[in-house]
Structure 1
Amino acid sequence: MKSYNFMLPQPGKKEVLVKQNYIFEPCFDGTRVLLYKNDDKIILLNRKSKNISYKYPEFNSAWTNINADSAVLDGVIVVLDKDKKPSLNLLQQREILDTSRDILAKSKEIPATLFVFDALELFEADFTSTTLDRRKEKLREIIRENENFRVMPYIGNGREVWTEMQKLGVEGVIAKDIRSEYQDGKSWAWMKIENIKKANCFIVGYAGDKTFADSPVLTLILGFFSDKQVKYAGRTEIDLGFGKGFDDFLSKKLIARIKKEKLNRKETPFLPEEDIEKLKKIYAGKQIMWLMPSIVAQVKHFGFTENSELIKPVFMRLRDDKWGEDCVLEKKDFQ
């Protein structure tokens, strides 16, 4: 069984929703994985090629859902709320866990669902050069669905899927050319039409109470790469108390991550000098703690300013499946 890289979509516009020879799938907020099955063993690799199988014990028996001795499938892990809608808050509660006791308890309290949507390899035969419509047929043939292991639904009417995704308030729609092969990296054969503007940024620092004790509000300072240079992306606030998407447990986990990546006084912050001076003026009288740019946060936003900063970024979740180097925005993103 060989290893594979993810096929990734390019950004698309609503005009794509009426394309011929395309199918349209929901784009759920979740964690993308490649599932490797070998007999009764299941391995889940995220975008970092990190094995995250231990985080989702509910999929240990997923080999029984796949009627093939060996397989490599592409899919997305989501956590559904009581209304059967994908929930980023619930997903974050699963992703941030790292002890077997906590993981097992949460897997029973808020179990995840894996939606598979592509077959890269079956019975040790490489299917990546096969057309998408044929790969979809093979996927349907080998999958036995249950509540936590499903085949991603799709139809040929993009506008209908778009309308449903707007009602659900989820990420958007993926348009896929049924004649396309499975390719390594980004391809125009797949296009993502976003319902919500989102960006992945690395956290370069935070402002506020150094000990996190006096203020429940944590201000995260965000950055990204543009034209191979580090850029200041803006700042977003997180209420570390209850009722704001974080509970005490998640707050402690986030704070522990931040403390681990804190720079010492002799180390240079990962931002241009003009951005550092601007932030010092904004937070005059407060202390700014700088971090290694290794923690990735996903935010939703309302576009960009003339200075290429995010407008009103709102924290959504941490992205443990992303590297800081993945936080790249190009000039086209600001248009």
Structure 2
Amino acid sequence: MNWDGYRLAVHVEPSRVRILTRGGHDWTHRFPAIEAAAKVFGPTTMILDGEAVVLDEGGRSNFGLLQAALGGRGGKREADEARFYAFDLLYFDGHDLRGMEQRERRTMLEDAIAEGGTVIRLSEEIEGEGAAILAHACKLGLEGIIAKDRRAPYRSGRLGDWLKLKCIQSDGFIVVGYEPSTKVTGAISRLLLAARRGDELVYVGGVGTGFTDKMARDLRKQLAAMPAKVPPVALKRKNAVFCEPVFVAEITYTEITSDGKLRHPSFKGLRELADNGDVFDLKK
């Protein structure tokens, strides 16, 4: 399954547990329930690769709910309701497992994590024909699935070893500015978004749905604190306020039109570019 949350590595060490983001930030303090559950695995050493999520009433992961639990981008709250779904085991009892085949690591992961855990859980794995599995996932209202080569070793980075198959279009776009709201004081009306094309940023339109009035005010406060000295994209709009391109907005949309703009975009949440947030590349 393609979990809609934060990719994390849970390091279980003899005297402590560390929870690190993909960009190397220590977020242990933000996931106390996951930390407490991981301590139960000690004194064995291990590194679990997985995703922290918050589930909605239907049992589906929801990135917006996770961000709300954390207090938003830059928030200080602790996400006690977050759950960690582990899908890989990179290190166990003094041994680096990354050179082993994925199916061998999976077997060890299943042995390491007891079934029925309430906070740290095993991400379900299904073998079969990809199109049929994807169709079933979409029927359940899930975001999509991840396809993996069972014979492959573990390799860091985005190297194409894993294929993300989506039910809906959902990608990260760099926030390059905003348009102030004329209806809600101190809020934004739209975020201005860009995709990558090589080393440059290309404007792909704005998004004005998916956030509440409070979120719109919080977003304006965050972005106004980081004004751009030079506009990050070539865009002439009278009411545009440009910011430094340091945030990645998760956006759902139906397509990118022939003139390079997002169609029916909706805002899901904000990530930090510094934390290796995925950014849509127009060359792909």
TM-score, normalised on structure 1? 0.76
- 2-side partners of 1:206 and 1:98: how far apart? 18
Structure 1 residues 141 and 65: CA distance shift in structure 2, 3 A:
farther
| Structure 1: distance between partners of 2:126 and 2:274 | 30
Structure 2 CA distance for partners of 1:321 and 1:222, relative to 1, 3 Å: closer
1:226 match:
197
Aligned position for 1:294 = 246
> Using the alignment, how far apart are the partners of 2:159 and 2:168 within structure 1?
21
Instruction: In structure 1, list runs of 5 or more residues that go unmatched.
Output: 1-25, 239-243, 281-286
Letter in 2 for 1:319: R
Asked if 1 retains the 8 angstrom alpha-carbon contact of 2:223 and 2:243, the reply is: yes
Deviation at 1:254, TM superposition (A): 2.4
Q: How many residues align?
A: 281
> Which portions of structure 1, spanning 4 or more consecutive aligned residues, are displaced by more than 6 angstroms?
none
> In 2, Cα distance between the equivalents of 1:47 and 1:190?
16
Equivalence for 1:138: 108
Measure the CA separation in 1 of the matches of 2:67 and 2:23.
Answer: 17
> Cα gap change, 1:65/1:320 in structure 2, threshold over 3 Å: closer, same or farther?
farther
Q: Which amino acid aligns with 2:35?
A: N
Equivalent residue for 1:82, pick from 52, 57, 67: 57
Structure number with the higher helix fraction is 1
Rounded to whole Å, the distance in 1 between the matches of 2:19 and 2:183 is: 36
Q: Secondary structure at the match of 1:254?
A: helix
Question: Contact (CA 8 Å) 2:6, 2:21: kept in 1 or not?
Answer: yes
In 1, Cα distance between the equivalents of 2:277 and 2:42? 38
Structure with bigger RCO (C-alpha 8 Å, 6+ apart): 1
1:293 aligned partner, one-letter code: P
Matched position secondary structure for 1:234: strand
Kindly indicate whether the alpha-carbon contact (under 8 Å) linking 1:300 and 1:316 is maintained by their aligned counterparts in 2.
Answer: yes
- The match for 1:316 is 268
Q: Partner residue of 2:46?
A: 71
2:245 corresponds to 1:257: no
Question: In structure 1, what is the equivalent of residue 255 of structure 2?
Answer: 303
Percent identity among equivalent residues?
23
Cα distance between partner residues in 1 of 2:159 and 2:273: 20
Aligned with 2:99 (options 129, 133, 138): 129
Q: In the alignment, what sits opposite 1:165?
A: 137
1:138 Cα deviation from its structure 2 partner:
0.6
Q: 2:84 aligns with which of 96, 114, 118?
A: 114
C-alpha distance in 2 between matches for 1:171 and 1:262: 34
Q: Which moved further from structure 2: 251-260 or 49-58? A: 251-260
Contact 2:18-2:26 at 8 Å conserved across structures: yes
Pick the structure with greater CA Rg.
1
1:238-276 per-position Cα deviation (integer Å, ceiling 9, x unaligned): 4xxxxx65363x44532331122123xxx221112xxx2
User: Distance between the aligned counterparts of 1:63 and 1:217, measured in 2?
Assistant: 40
> Which shifted more, 252-261 or 53-62?
252-261
Distance 1:310 1:44, change over 3 A: same
* TM-score between the two structures when normalised by the length of structure 2: 0.88
